Amino acid sequence: MEKRQVLVTGATGFVGRHVVETLCQHGYQVRSLARRPQKWTAGWSVEPIVADMRDGSALTAAAEGCAAIIHLVGIIRPTPAQGFEQAHVTATSNMLLAAARAGVGRYLHMSALGAKAGAKSEYHRSKWQAEQLVRTSALRWTILQPSLILGPGGAFTNQLLAWSRGQALPYFFMPYFGGGWWGQKAATKVQPIYVGDVAEIFLRALETDSACGQTYALAGPKVMTWPELLQLAAAVTRGRPKLVLGVPFWLGKLLAQLRLPGLPFTENEVTMAGEDNIADTTPLRTDFAPLTLTEPWRGLALAAGQVAK
């Protein structure tokens, strides 16, 4: 599409900052919509806009004159002030309405791999509800469903690196959720994708007319079990293995229900960890060819500052 103005919601978040940087590097003018003002790198064509996703008038004003909207707003953990329904479904509904009022026809939506009707987790169910709103809109939409995202500034990536270095509980081993009474059975699989690849795919989807009306699963080049991913993080940061132990799902859910201070997971996250998070990337590679996906070890090394970008 013509290099024109694009509105990015959730622009100051982990994925948002990478998407904004990629758009700017390719000549787009970006309106960065977030709840709080943010200082951006000098030279980038970024117009910061502070707005609440509940304020329809503010969203419409932010969208005026834009050629496209990239909607990235989402949460992984609900708070007393904002649950999954508000963050995913209501915010999406408000943004779609603002796009229609402002005459913005092109809309890219970030969902999540695993979003489906009847999903076990509230997170995935709310993501699916938001997807359905997008699909029934009159916009030229594309839905992108990322798997676990690795990269600099990511909360989970930082957690992995801290576990590897013994800087976060539990200091002496790296935990994952496993099946069985002791958590040592049936480790689920993940297919992590590098955040820079996610940003690049958003750019390509924006510039590819055939991506309109399509839903793409975004996953990396390697399927791994959780123990394999943890050991990879240890190898990258320590240069040697570290003890990896399974925490049984029943215990994880019990601890989450107790809401112990400092617990790094919620019951919803334990539920999601009980399902494989993998996908066939053939449609992605075909429609956006040539596309080179970053290996997980490199994504971790970039986050750890051990290799140059």
**Rounded Cα–Cα distance for residues 64 and 99 (Å):** 8
Residues 162, 92: one domain?
Answer: no
* One domain for residues 237 and 141: no
What is the dihedral sign for C-alpha 105, 10, 307, 242?
negative
- Answer whether residue 215 is part of any domain: no
Residue 65: how many CB atoms within 10 A of its CB?
A: 14
194 is a domain residue? no
Using the 3D structure, point to which of 146, 180, 201 is the last residue of a domain. Answer: 146
Rounded Cα gap, residues 237 and 215, in angstroms:
35
Per-residue pLDDT of the chain (309 residues; tens, 9 = 90+): 556 899 999 998 999 999 999 999 999 999 999 887 666 665 677 899 999 999 999 999 999 999 999 999 999 999 888 999 999 999 999 999 999 999 999 999 999 999 999 999 999 999 999 999 999 999 999 999 999 999 999 999 999 999 999 999 899 999 999 999 988 887 899 999 999 999 999 999 999 999 999 999 999 999 999 999 999 999 999 999 999 999 999 999 999 998 887 788 899 999 999 999 999 999 999 999 999 999 999 999 999 988 766
* One domain, residues 45 and 121: yes
125 touches 119 (CB < 8 A) = yes
Q: How far apart are CA 262 and CA 190, in angstroms?
A: 25
Considering 146, 180, 212, which residue would you say is the last residue of a domain?
A: 146
Q: Is residue 133 part of a domain?
A: yes
Structure confidence at residue 39 (pLDDT): 64
Q: Residue 96 belongs to a domain with what CATH number? A: 3.40.50.720
- Asked whether residue 34 is assigned to any structural domain, the reply reads yes
In a domain, 93, yes or no: yes
Domain extent, residue 240, equals 155-188+224-273
3-class secondary structure for the chain? CCCCEEEEECCCCHHHHHHHHHHHHCCCEEEEEECCCCCCCCCCCEEEEECCCCCHHHHHHHHCCCCEEEECCCCCCCECCECHHHHHHHHHHHHHHHHHHHCCCEEEEECCCCCCCCCCCHHHHHHHHHHHHHHCCCCEEEEEEECCEECCCCHHHHHHHHHHHCCCCCCCCEEEEEECCCCCECCCEECCEEHHHHHHHHHHHHCCHHHCCEEEEECCCCCEEHHHHHHHHHHHHHCCCCCEEEEEHHHHHHHHHHCCCCCCCCHHHHHHHCCCECCCCHHHHHHCCCCCCCCHHHHHHHHCCCCCC
Residue type at position 126: S
pLDDT at 263: 82
97 shares its domain with 177: no
Same domain, 14 and 124: yes
C-alpha–C-alpha distance, residues 288 and 58, integer Å? 34
Do 37 and 161 belong together in one domain? Answer: no
**Same domain for 86 and 175?**
no
Residue identified by tokens 């997807």 is 131
| One domain, residues 175 and 70 | no
Residues 142 and 165 in one domain: no
Q: Indicate the number of domains in the chain.
A: 2
Q: How far apart are CA 78 and CA 283, in angstroms?
A: 32
CA dihedral 175, 259, 148, 190 (to 10 degrees): 50
Domain-located, residue 116: yes
Q: Do 178 and 254 reside in the same domain of the chain?
A: yes
In a domain, 198, yes or no: no
Domain boundary among 146, 179, 214: 146
Residue 197 included in any domain:
no
Q: Are 81 and 133 within one domain?
A: yes
Reported as half-sphere exposure (CB side, CA atoms, 13 A), residue 105 has a value of 4
- Give the pLDDT confidence score for residue 37 in this predicted structure: 65
| Contact present, 220 and 190 (Cβ < 8 Å) | no
Same domain, 63 and 168: no
Residue closest to 231 by CA, chosen among 146, 297, 156: 297
> What's the pLDDT score for residue 88?
98
